[in-house]
Amino acid sequence: MKYMSSAGEYNVEKPGTLIARAARLAPELRRPFAAAVAVTFVATIIRLLGPLVIREGIDGGIVAGDRQTILLAAAVYIGLLGLQYIADGLSQWMVALVGERYLVRLRSVVFAKLMRLDAGFYSRSKSGVLVSRMTSDIESLQEFASDGAVMALSNTLTVVGVAVALGVVDWQMALAVFAVVAVLVGVSAVFQRQARRAYDQVRERIGRVLAMLQEGITGVRVVQAFTQEQAQASTFGRVNERYFEANMAAARAISWYFPVVAFLRVVALGSALAIGASRVMDGTMTIGTLVAFLLYLEWFFQPIINLSNVYNLLQSALAALAKLFGLMDEPVVIDDRPGAYDLTEPVVGAVELDAVSFSYDPGTLVLDGVSLKVGAGERLAIVGETGSGKSTIAKLIMRFYDPDAGRVTVDGDDLRDITERSRVDALALIPQDGFLFSGTLRENIAYSDSSASDESVWNVLRAMGIDDWVRSLPEGLDTEVRERGGRFSAGERQLVALARAFLFDPSIIVLDEATSNLDPETEVQVEGALRVLLAGRTSIVIAHRLRSAERSDRVVMIDAGRVIAVGTHTELVESSPRYRELVEVWQRGTK
Amino acid sequence: MVEDRSNLGDLRVGVALLLRVIMRYQGVVAISILGAMIWMAMILSIPYLVGTIIDLVVTRSGMSEVWPLLGLLLIAGSIQAVGISLRRFFGFKLSYRAEADLRNDIFTHIQRMAFSFHDVTSTGALMARASSDLSQLRLILAMTPITVANLVMFFVVTAVLIVIDPVLGLTASLMVPALLYTSGRFAGRVVGFSFDLQERLSQLSHVVEETVAGIEVVKSYGQEAHQQRRLDREAETIYDAAIGMAKQRAIHRPLFEIIPALGTVAVLAVGGIRVLDGAMTFGEFVAFMQYLAVMVLPLLITGWFFANLPRAAAAAARIDELLSTAPDIQEPDHPERLRSGPGEVRFNHVSFAYPDGTAVLSDVNLTIPGGTSVGLVGATGAGKSTIAHLIPRFYDVSSGSITIDGVDVRELSLDELRHEVSVVFQESYLFSASIAENIRVGDPMASDDSVRSAARLAKAHDFICGFPDGYETVVGERGSTLSGGQRQRVSLARGVVRDPRVLILDDATSSVDAIVEAEIQTALAQVMAGRTTVIIAHRTSTLALVDNVAFIEDGALVAFGPHDELLATVPRYAAVLAAQVIV
């Protein structure tokens, strides 16, 4: 690989580095975060006061025989509960506000970075993995933000608070309870390791189940055509069973952990009672203290269990952060260099490749010293076999990549010296499949300029002779194209892509012609629209059919990364045997 | 995505399915409920023991009387642990087993449903049946045993409290409906929000997918800012949904603690005074507090259960609807065997209309002599594909019949029919598996040699050998991507590997460029030699290969004969063909 990814600098083993960097991303959220922590702290303190009030009610009221005190304690407790409701609610709310705001920022920043990365990065990475940075990785952070963060914060404070309170109430009893809790922490650690492993497996296997399910549905016609229903069902059954087994492994872990926790709870209760009973009977402890202690105990176990769950969420959140920062640190290869300047307006559109060499992987040259001139307004067809390097030429002209050697120029200026903005305005690519975005037809045609008026869109359509087609659609320009233009044929998608380019009005057009057969009617329309679009512009057409080559001003034939013939169609038919062969193949297919 | 159809009829159907599932695994259910009951009995005995110990403490009875009770407490604790273990493990087993079994049923069922069903059913809907709908079912099933025990427990605890002290018992029991209501309301709202959130998350991922897939167009038009705005908009809607959910949490969750605490306050105030009056012992007072504490989690869970039950029932009803739809294409009860023959295919007065009534073919009579090839020619929508799809019974004729070597295709077992009739589709679908495995879909028993020779026949061998892993190269969604032409050649190889009596090529060379098609042409000539072949093609070069052409217009067979003859005698044929060589 040409560019090494710097991912790996961040990893879960260094949570401090990760969190510090995460905090740097949104400095304006530090104050709100501090406020949220403060409110949570207050809420925890209020909660911890409850049992102390009850102790007073018992010792000062019930034991002392004072009704007034009992009622007073009850009234105070109700007051505290009112405060606790407000503080608790506020804490939940504030932590969520901060967390979700942070995620909005993170999504935006990561996506912006994703779009700045170059074609080389995209061809090295699987698109599914890129998408998962923005989806499953950020979603695991979301899970932490929406549930984990509050839990982590309030449960930690509660555990610390209760531990302190227990110690204050009676340190000997507290020690006995801490001993049990130490066992609980150990047991939880073992369980978490086991559960994590089990759930990793569950996640992996559900992925397979869903993938195979999807395949079984989308491929059902092939399955039936070859009567593979039973074979498919039994393969699926096996995959599904493995998922069941993974789930049961997790179930087994849960089925020993929670009973043990419940038992430990009773042990803690028993030891508190044993110590407390003898102390109360000695007269060294009040009965109210014992009851308060029992109440605190209830709040000690659940937070610890919660925290061990939160730990899992935190781990996957940190892992996600590490991956996201790895992406953020990818170098941006194609960018304005210092001192980059705009092309001189108006752009004439002369394109030249000067001794250009290029390789995707070091060692395998895709282009080997290609020199090529396209005059302003000229239509040049590039022909050659699959893999000859003809698409790479198009990509270099679009500056999706920079050449390893040599240079690509527009109007004599090296693309690397020109500002991105200026280059983008001068050039447009029409990819093979046209590529439509979800949205309306209007949005797709006016993609480069969403403020374009209906009138200018219709002008484009009329000029290209496809206004009748759009009018024939049920909702005209407002027709939803559906996913990737699924409701349109390949030819219709081409038409939209051509109209989009026409509205953009670039000086130079790079067209990767579709290989698939269009239905005859649309083919005629595409031809017509193309003629209008290319008139007066420089165009480089990756040609897959005879007619395109015939209509071009000149044809370049590429073979194994080199130019092997240049000239008009007629010239090449006479002078190049390789070209003649290609033309004959084309002719067999069409005549 | 998720239609909210939790009406009463669905509820009944759904609950009926849930009950059927529960009956199917009654052993597991019984053990889990037994475990839950043991757990419940012990959890009820623990506050009683604590209360008794406290009374001994208050009366200064001495530790010798306390120790045996502490021993009992530990025993109750251990038995409780066993109960929890049984309840949890078998509860999980019930839910996961039922989920896995139902998913298998759904998958098998989907595989059997005919083309007509898949034509009108979206992949997303079927995926939802076998994933999110099933998950809802599973969650409810997992919670069923504990809910049974919980309901018994609320009843028993309320009774116990009222027996100990009617006034305080009634006051404290107010916690039960209050907590059930709050928890149910919260669960109900949060479920709504979380579906909403899921929906919005998937919209955002859609924007990302689209941008990644179309990155060249985005960059070429300098529209990064436009895409960024789209994404930021989605991120904001996610924010709104998440904050809406947080609001519900902020409103309800504190109540999960406050309501039981209010119960404790009631015990303190009312119970304290009752103790002073001598109406109850101090131990009973403490036991009261403990009973309230013990009930909190079960109450929350039960509230959750009933809030989610309608949704799960609706999911169950959808699953039930899918499973009870019978496939349109049925196996004959007593299948005939195909006679040995050259593979003559005959259409006798065949008409076909889609279930919605759209007529496609009317009274087609066509005989394809065994071993000959026929090209189907006609404008888009004329009915070419339908003719091809009727032969292997992807659809059944509306009237008339189709025979292969004299036997009606409806009299043959589907297995035999589709084994003898091989189809190569226009969309060459490949499975996520190796190339060899993809070719073997055509004939699972094929030897390596026959896989290779099928690939050679389809002109796929050379490019396959060009891959580092050769025939073991994994393709499909999770593997490396093949070009359209390569995919078509692999599926062509898949079609011929079993050496079928009848071969149907459904526009199978549409997405290869002229150079590759020229190669496939020679392959086709070999494949078709001596085999009954029905081929739909746009390119005239393909028509030069076939023995006869069937010219279809508006669902009727207009002309049948050799290409040259039709060109000379049928002017419409020449016109339609002329439209195809415009390129």
- The Cα-based distances of A545 to A29, A493, A588, B512, B516 in angstroms read 58, 19, 11, 11, 12
Going from N- to C-terminal start, the domains of chain B cover 8-323, 345-430+501-580
Cβ–Cβ below 8 Å for A240 and B107: yes
B64 is written with which tokens? 């010798």
pLDDT tens digits, one per residue of B194-226: 888 888 988 898 899 889 888 888 888 888 999
Query: Closest to B223 (Cβ–Cβ): which among A58, A448, A520?
Result: A448
**Minimal Cα distance from B423: which residue of A?**
A225
Nearby residues of A345 by Cβ (< 8 Å), 6 or more positions away: none
pLDDT score of B537 more than 60: yes
Chain A residues 182-201 within an 8 A CB cutoff of chain B: none
Q: Given this model, what pLDDT does residue B511 score?
A: 58
User: Per-residue DSSP letters for B273-336?
Assistant: HHHHTTSS-HHHHHHHHHHHHHHHHHHHHHHHHHHHHHHHHHHHHHHHHHHTPPPSS---SSPB
pLDDT score of B581 more than 60: no
Fold matches, B8-323 and B345-430+501-580: no
How does residue B232 score in pLDDT terms, banded at 50, 70 and 90?
very high
Cβ–Cβ below 8 Å for A122 and B215: yes
Cβ–Cβ below 8 Å for A504 and B221: yes
Chain A residues 534-573 within an 8 A CB cutoff of chain B: 544-547
| CA-atom Rg of chain A in angstroms | 35
Q: Which of A487-501, A510-524, B447-461, B553-567 has the lowest mean pLDDT?
A: A510-524
**Minimal Cα distance from B71: which residue of A?**
A270
Q: Given this model, what pLDDT does residue B509 score?
A: 61
pLDDT tens digits, one per residue of A209-243: 988 898 888 888 888 888 888 888 999 999 999 99
d(CA A119, CA B218): 12
Cβ–Cβ below 8 Å for A398 and B216: yes
**Minimal Cα distance from A106: which residue of B?**
B235
Count other Cβ atoms within 10 Å, centred on residue A453.
Answer: 10
Cβ–Cβ below 8 Å for B261 and A247: no
Q: Given this model, what pLDDT does residue A418 score?
A: 93
pLDDT score of A1 more than 60: no
Mutate which of B48, B94, B171, B265 to test chain A, going by most A C-beta atoms within 10 A? Answer: B265
ipTM computed for the complex: 0.86
d(CA A181, CA A159): 11
Look at residue A372 and give its three-state secondary structure.
strand
Q: Which of A101-110, B58-67, B354-363, B394-403 has the lowest mean pLDDT?
A: B354-363
Query: Closest to A281 (Cβ–Cβ): which among B60, B93, B126?
Result: B60
d(CA B439, CA B475): 12
Helix (H) or strand (E) holding A380, with range, is strand A379-383
Chain A residues 292-331 within an 8 A CB cutoff of chain B: 294-295, 298
Of the candidates A374, A318, A236, A287, the one whose C-alpha atom is nearest the C-alpha of residue A63 is: A287
Cβ–Cβ below 8 Å for B272 and A61: yes
Going from N- to C-terminal start, the domains of chain A cover 1-169+309-333, 171-284, 351-590
CATH class of B345-430+501-580: alpha beta
d(CA A444, CA B490): 34
CATH class of A1-169+309-333: mainly alpha
pLDDT score of B333 more than 80: yes
Cα A134 → chain centroid: 2
Mean pLDDT value across chain B: 88
- A382 contacts chain B (CB < 8 A): no
CATH homologous superfamily for B8-323?
A: ABC transporter type 1, transmembrane domain (1.20.1560.10)
Mutate which of B48, B75, B431, B543 to test chain A, going by most A C-beta atoms within 10 A? Answer: B431
Query: Closest to A287 (Cβ–Cβ): which among B57, B418, B477?
Result: B57
Contacts A255 to B, Cβ<8 Å: 85, 88-89, 92
Q: Given this model, what pLDDT does residue A509 score?
A: 94
**Minimal Cα distance from B579: which residue of A?**
A520
A151 burial type by CB count under 10 A (0-12 exposed, 13-18 middle, 19+ buried): middle
For residue B424, the distance in angstroms to the closest alpha carbon of chain A comes to 9
Helix (H) or strand (E) holding B377, with range, is strand B373-377
The proportion of chain A whose per-residue pLDDT surpasses 90, expressed as a percent, equals 45
- A256 contacts chain B (CB < 8 A): yes
Q: Given this model, what pLDDT does residue B583 score?
A: 34
In contact, B583 and A523? CB cutoff 8 Å: yes
d(CA A576, CA A549): 14
- Strand order of the β-sheet with A508-512 is A427-430, A508-512, A538-542, A379-383, A554-559, A562-567
d(CA A492, CA A509): 19
Cβ–Cβ below 8 Å for B123 and A281: no
In contact, A536 and A468? CB cutoff 8 Å: no
Chain A residues 21-60 within an 8 A CB cutoff of chain B: 47, 50, 54, 57-58
- Residue listed under structure tokens 């949490």: B249
For residue B429, the distance in angstroms to the closest alpha carbon of chain A comes to 6
Cα A186 → chain centroid: 36
**Minimal Cα distance from B123: which residue of A?**
A217
Q: Given this model, what pLDDT does residue B103 score?
A: 95
pLDDT score of A6 more than 70: no
Q: Treating both helix axes as pointing N-terminal to C-terminal, what angle do A171-218 and A229-282 enclose, rounded to 10 degrees?
A: 170
pLDDT score of A8 more than 50: no
**Minimal Cα distance from B201: which residue of A?**
A135
Mutate which of A141, A224, A429, A547 to test chain B, going by most B C-beta atoms within 10 A? Answer: A224
Cβ–Cβ below 8 Å for B88 and A255: yes
pLDDT tens digits, one per residue of B108-151: 999 999 998 988 888 888 988 998 899 999 999 999 999 999 99
Pick the CATH number of A351-590 from 3.40.710.10, 2.40.50.140, 3.40.50.2300, 3.40.50.300: 3.40.50.300
